[in-house]
Amino acid sequence: MNKKMDYILGIFFSVATVLFIILFLTNDIIFNWAFARHHNIWSWYIRPLFIIPITFFAFKKSLTGIFASIFALFTSMFWFPAPETSSPQVMTFLAYEMEYLKGVWTAPKIIMSLSVPIFFIVLIIAAWKKNWRLLLGVVIAAALLKIIWSVVFSGEAGMSVLKPAITGLIICIGGVYYYKKNLSKKK
């Protein structure tokens, strides 16, 4: 794909992501529909795995790949059908997350929420520049901060995030290691 088309498609997916987030946060029907499906624990396991294609496309310097992967990450919360039953921990945690997103947006909440785009920026820069230490540091820090945030703010229910976050972290570290090892062999 030529650079101009990559740029255009990258802009398209970045705008689509922003529009999705705005629609998700402002439309109660879509918000509730998506969260009903987010009760499906498979969406919790798949989301961290999008770090791998984001990183891969940043290595390749593909804006389309990066922003299409970010769009897929955000929309993946509703890819799976709503489960017939959910564990009490999952239900309590998601009730907290829903309240967090729909509640009053204070300055501390805005500052804390800015950690999400900051994470993506640092992740992409680290991969773009092939800074392996920073890349691993960002991936590990993001998983740990997600776990800490979940437990601190939603109590025991936040522990429901532990298995998907650690599983995703292990797979992402393995993916980075695998890519770095193969890159070294080619050189």
- Give, in order, the Cα–Cα distances in Å from 178 to each of 36, 52, 160, 184, 187: 35, 11, 28, 10, 15
Residue 187 has what pLDDT? 65
Q: Which residue has the higher pLDDT, 179 or 67?
A: 67
Over residues 50-99, the pLDDT tens digits come to 999 999 999 999 999 999 999 999 999 899 999 988 888 888 888 888 99
Q: Is the pLDDT of residue 185 over 80?
A: no
Residues 6+ apart with CB under 8 A from 52: 171, 172, 175, 176
For helices 3-26 and 63-75, angle between their N-to-C axes, nearest 10 degrees: 20
Token pair belonging to 147:
């776990």
CA distances from 155 to 9, 50, 151, 158 (A): 41, 27, 5, 6
Q: Of 88, 105, 75, 109, nearest to 159 (Cα)?
A: 88
Tens of pLDDT, residue by residue over 101-131, are: 998 989 988 988 899 999 999 999 999 999 9
Q: Please say whether the beta carbons of 80 and 36 come within 8 A.
A: no
Domain that includes residue 141, residue range: 3-186
What is the reported pTM?
0.88
Interval 135-165: pLDDT, tens: 999 999 999 998 998 888 888 888 888 899 9
Q: Please tell me the distance from the alpha carbon of residue 96 to that of residue 103, in angstroms, as a whole number.
A: 10
List, for residues 17-34, the tens digit of each pLDDT value: 999 999 999 999 999 999
Residue closest to 20 by CA, chosen among 60, 76, 59: 76
* Counted domains in the chain: 1
Helix 132-154 with 115-128: angle, nearest 10 deg? 160
The reported pLDDT for the residue numbered 176 is 85
> In degrees rounded to 5, what are phi and psi of residue 15?
-65, -40
Please say whether the beta carbons of 173 and 55 come within 8 A: no
